[in-house]
Structure 1
């Protein structure tokens, strides 16, 4: 036996005997199988929140930022012998720092060195990064240059080259490396070195072809997420991967239809694909495991598994770190996962005695110090002046100035670019609240509201009002299609029973994203929340006879169009590329598009503010209250509730601006830190 070292002996015993006792003539001594504990750490949806800093409020923010998450990464890594670190994507867009870098590229056609996201991440030892959908927002040239600054590999298995691809890729080739297998040196339970081959495979939603049509049309095609997984995972196994980690930039999805090839949210479906040992996912900005997913079929929220596969989703902007722990055992010459668990660990807990659970990593701050200063200067560029506050605290329950000013800007931009053939068609606008309490799924969401006060405005205010780098697009549709667009938008509200006095929640946080709550300006209408919804959150028809949108009207030269006359009338709707090409809402999709402008919606907004200020001395963002709820006629005392920010600023705004009677509940608390209000939908509006 002297010729064998301890490591070889352990492997031989484990591979031939597993957990079986090793007998001898003298005793019945048991030899433990060789085991390895492997920890997988995940960041996701950082959206260029590298600094723990709120550029809209110009102050440090301990609830966000890789600078804080980095400290947690180091803590969690130090607790174990073996760990790897992965990023799930949506990294290069989403904060003013991301806009600052993209603006430099737009002006000079170069980033001018390493992207600040990679300056920071290169200090942390990432094993791999995945491509998110927002990585495509600034075009493939920008993405190619940005990725060159990462000193870790990138993967994606479902984006294929169509034409004019980089690095000599031919049509049908994967645009990115579909997967990699890392030979990881680990320490086993005996303190000896072993090698575990960890396979990583990444995915992005197929919907990138719609969301970034202007950047990707004719250049790439996209496989379904599960389709790509079923193609490549057997290859990874054949190449010797001991453990396979799937990194889908994709939400949970639903068990009811888990194998739709084009599903945007396909994590549940991936958990059913043979060979996957862990899933580190993202995209929907939620936290898994958490109470948000209570009741999800075959999900163990204590263990952190979906269909027995370890799975984690770490929120957004660095507010959580994903942690997966796998226990491997050598059995018959192969590593086998014998136990698994997953959790998301926050960087901040408002209910803790010391809410800041970690301090900032100064190495990250130092790495991006130059870009941080550049971003501060970038967002402080003056653009004009506003006559009123633009806060989105009430944007889900009444017409709102933060949405109104976006609509006004979009209408002005489209009207200025109409051709003679289109100039007689009325121009409307569809705009949604992008910051309206996030997704009501993490404590940080309670801070996610537009907060732009009256007075002098800078570019950071325009970025606060319009969060995404979408571009201006307009569609042409009929009044009938316009009504169905609004019917889908009205899925934002739960159905209210007018005959019960028990509490009823107005806002549908579960199946309708607030950024899909489109308000269409230029028409007037009311929403009857006592009626069932006609469409679900994906605008799929669920009740053909439902009719929530009532009193829909368009007024032109003192003529009011309603009913069948309005249904036949043509309209142009100013919106963004995401909505116009998405095809989700009625009247959208490529066939309806009649105008594509190179300007971003944010640029159009900033220019509108400047033009209005130069002409009138200031811009007036006051809501025109073109939409409201139908007043409920009932003798029952209703208890209808909604959530908004819990702050003195929000309290004052609600008091000063409420259209319907609103009452703050001081006797109730919200699990995520939101204030709870009652809204009176039974008293007719008199103002």
Structure 2
């Protein structure tokens, strides 16, 4: 006789709950925990009719990344909207994502204390040596014949949280290597569990080596013999899929492990189906498979979940509609990696203004900003602000992360390497598209790592390959940055500059971590709000750089960009999948 076990999972929800896009002001049924929760509840009920047992798990990053997250962190409602919804859906366990730490340990602990299910993590301890959360949990499910299966669940998160949230974690926690701790914990669980599941808030990148300390380690964790199934995430991708491949992937298995990565925001649901056989020592996995279920046009909405969210839904409107200014222009980030963008430049301007208010007139001061919303999470993941009133919602759209303003002293030599890393976001002149895929694993390059330096003038030579990969690791000896000047004079290796950035960039970037830096108690988003209130944002946006060769170059952007094409030296050349389009941008206009 065989038995069936289903493992349903979500990952990287980032507080997306509602069936409403607060930035576009429209109803939607493409993502969110109401959508995912409705499907989960329906599948659990369906499985009960088939005498299949179901375990429901979340893989972390639930507390940051959406207007609801900002509202909850700012206003502190009695019940956190995400936890309230997860309890109603009926999760069995969850692990921590890196963004869980963005608001500090006290907020994290008090919020997750509302969970009516276990929160597990095995690679974070306090400096005293205690686990921050329970390292694992054992979930028992009983079949109709009275047999009970024991499912052990543990979880891991990247060590890099110590850099990304240094201001909250320094001197308070120790984070151990994910592979080593998962291996030890799985071995312990296997002693008294039939099935071991690892919730891996880390991504898959087949190009990475087999070494400790990597940010993305699914390629290693999936080799652990005592693990039967993995839910992974962090990189907002899909698995199984045609885009994540390796010679050791067999269908839905990575090595011997059944694995799934259900994208992000609750747009997809992960499902692992295991067929088990009973032995004298318990249950044994006989076979299985995994899949991702797209939820759009494939889910009947549970009205009880909609009703549960109604108070939060109405509170969000009050929270986001506070007016902070006016604009005569459409503010967007559709072409922000190539062309002028007020949405990106205002972050650099506001940071410089705030810093000079605190520190006065600083020589050789450079302000930076990166295109944070440039399509990494779909065709709606762009800044899109219509002329008229500017509100808190728009400030959050312009700057989505709870970062602090930071300043770092660099030499001209380090500055040039920083520019080389940013220029590595591009392909070569000969490639079909000039901008790399906006992904946080190779061969992509996430737009949030592409800093633009507004006080500098420089050219980028795309006849040679990139010098760095997406994580600031040097991969070639190429030199793309040419003619680098500051205020009309050439930048020399020994020149000294103060560069304004944010705490994430300062703590994460390999060639910045050891330098003299300062993290100010100033929220970047608050500087944007104050700048809009006092200066507005109808300034003339600057072209950020030049290419060494004149020409027109193609890039992928949102279909929503068609509404503003006339404002750019650009034309649409083709439709692309998933509501994207291919446009051709005339960079010759900049070079003139």
Tell me, yes or no, if the aligned pair for 1:388 and 1:621 is still in contact at 8 Å.
no
Alpha-carbon distance in structure 2 between the residues aligned to 1:316 and 1:91: 10
1:573 aligned residue: 499
Instruction: Please give the residue correspondences for 1:533-544 in structure 2 after superposition, counting only pairs within 5 Å.
Output: 533-544=466-477
Alpha-carbon distance in structure 1 between the residues aligned to 2:461 and 2:147: 64
Alpha-carbon distance in structure 1 between the residues aligned to 2:544 and 2:293: 43
Kindly indicate whether residue 415 of structure 2 is the aligned counterpart of residue 458 of structure 1: no
Say which SS state the counterpart of residue 541 (structure 2) adopts. Answer: coil
Alpha-carbon distance in structure 1 between the residues aligned to 2:461 and 2:134: 50
TM-score by length of 2: 0.95
1:436 aligned residue: 374
Question: Which of 176, 180, 190 is equivalent to 2:137?
Answer: 180
Alpha-carbon distance in structure 1 between the residues aligned to 2:121 and 2:380: 33
1:480 aligned residue: 413
Q: Deviation of residue 290 (structure 1)?
A: 1.4
Say which SS state the counterpart of residue 508 (structure 1) adopts. Answer: coil
Specify whether residues 619 and 632 from structure 1 end up closer, same or farther in structure 2 by C-alpha distance, changes over 3 A only. Answer: closer
2:37 aligned residue: 70
Q: Deviation of residue 66 (structure 1)?
A: 0.8
1:322 aligned residue: 270
Write the deviation string for residues 276-315 of structure 1: whole angstroms up to 9, x where unpaired: 100011111111111221x323113xx3111131111111
Say which SS state the counterpart of residue 584 (structure 2) adopts. Answer: strand
Question: Which of 524, 528, 532 is equivalent to 1:609?
Answer: 532
Q: Deviation of residue 621 (structure 1)?
A: 4.3
Write the deviation string for residues 225-249 of structure 1: whole angstroms up to 9, x where unpaired: 00111221111122x1110000011
Say which SS state the counterpart of residue 223 (structure 2) adopts. Answer: coil
Q: Deviation of residue 619 (structure 1)?
A: 2.7
Q: Deviation of residue 396 (structure 1)?
A: 2.1
Instruction: Please give the residue correspondences for 1:632-643 in structure 2 after superposition, counting only pairs within 5 Å.
Output: 632=550, 640-643=553-556
1:352 aligned residue: none
Write the deviation string for residues 660-682 of structure 1: whole angstroms up to 9, x where unpaired: xx33224xx4233310123455x
Alpha-carbon distance in structure 2 between the residues aligned to 1:276 and 1:522: 51
Question: Which of 135, 148, 157 is equivalent to 2:113?
Answer: 148
Tell me, yes or no, if the aligned pair for 2:416 and 2:481 is still in contact at 8 Å.
yes
Q: Deviation of residue 391 (structure 1)?
A: 0.7
1:60 aligned residue: 27
Tell me, yes or no, if the aligned pair for 1:386 and 1:621 is still in contact at 8 Å.
no
Question: Which of 566, 570, 578 is equivalent to 1:672?
Answer: 578
1:561 aligned residue: 489
Question: Which of 158, 174, 180 is equivalent to 1:221?
Answer: 174
Q: Deviation of residue 417 (structure 1)?
A: 1.6
Instruction: Please give the residue correspondences for 1:76-115 in structure 2 after superposition, counting only pairs within 5 Å.
Output: 76-80=43-47, 81-104=52-75, 111-115=76-80
Alpha-carbon distance in structure 1 between the residues aligned to 2:117 and 2:235: 25
Kindly indicate whether residue 211 of structure 2 is the aligned counterpart of residue 211 of structure 1: no
**Equivalenced residues, count:** 583
Kindly indicate whether residue 309 of structure 2 is the aligned counterpart of residue 381 of structure 1: no
Question: Which of 306, 310, 314 is equivalent to 2:258?
Answer: 310
Write the deviation string for residues 259-284 of structure 1: whole angstroms up to 9, x where unpaired: x2211111111100111100011111
Alpha-carbon distance in structure 2 between the residues aligned to 1:685 and 1:98: 39
Instruction: Please give the residue correspondences for 1:578-593 in structure 2 after superposition, counting only pairs within 5 Å.
Output: 578-584=504-510, 586=511, 588-589=512-513, 591-593=515-517
TM-score by length of 1: 0.82
2:288 aligned residue: 340
Alpha-carbon distance in structure 2 between the residues aligned to 1:157 and 1:136: 16
1:160 aligned residue: 125
Write the deviation string for residues 587-634 of structure 1: whole angstroms up to 9, x where unpaired: x215331x322221111111111121xxxxx4324321131222258x
Q: Deviation of residue 90 (structure 1)?
A: 0.5
Which deviates further from its counterpart, 262-271 or 503-512?
Answer: 503-512
Tell me, yes or no, if the aligned pair for 2:339 and 2:544 is still in contact at 8 Å.
no
Tell me, yes or no, if the aligned pair for 1:552 and 1:562 is still in contact at 8 Å.
yes
Instruction: Please give the residue correspondences for 1:164-563 in structure 2 after superposition, counting only pairs within 5 Å.
Output: 171-187=128-144, 192-238=145-191, 240-254=192-206, 256-258=208-210, 260-293=211-244, 295-300=245-250, 303-348=251-296, 356-418=297-359, 423-438=361-376, 445-497=378-430, 504-509=432-437, 510-544=443-477, 546-555=478-487, 560-563=488-491
Write the deviation string for residues 561-610 of structure 1: whole angstroms up to 9, x where unpaired: 2143xx322111111111011133x3x215331x3222211111111111
Larger Rg: 1
Structure 2 unaligned spans of 5+: 438-442
Which deviates further from its counterpart, 516-525 or 194-203?
Answer: 516-525
Say which SS state the counterpart of residue 111 (structure 2) adopts. Answer: helix
Which deviates further from its counterpart, 324-333 or 35-44?
Answer: 324-333
Tell me, yes or no, if the aligned pair for 2:546 and 2:590 is still in contact at 8 Å.
no
RMSD: 1.8
Kindly indicate whether residue 545 of structure 2 is the aligned counterpart of residue 627 of structure 1: yes
1:14 aligned residue: none
Tell me, yes or no, if the aligned pair for 2:458 and 2:482 is still in contact at 8 Å.
yes
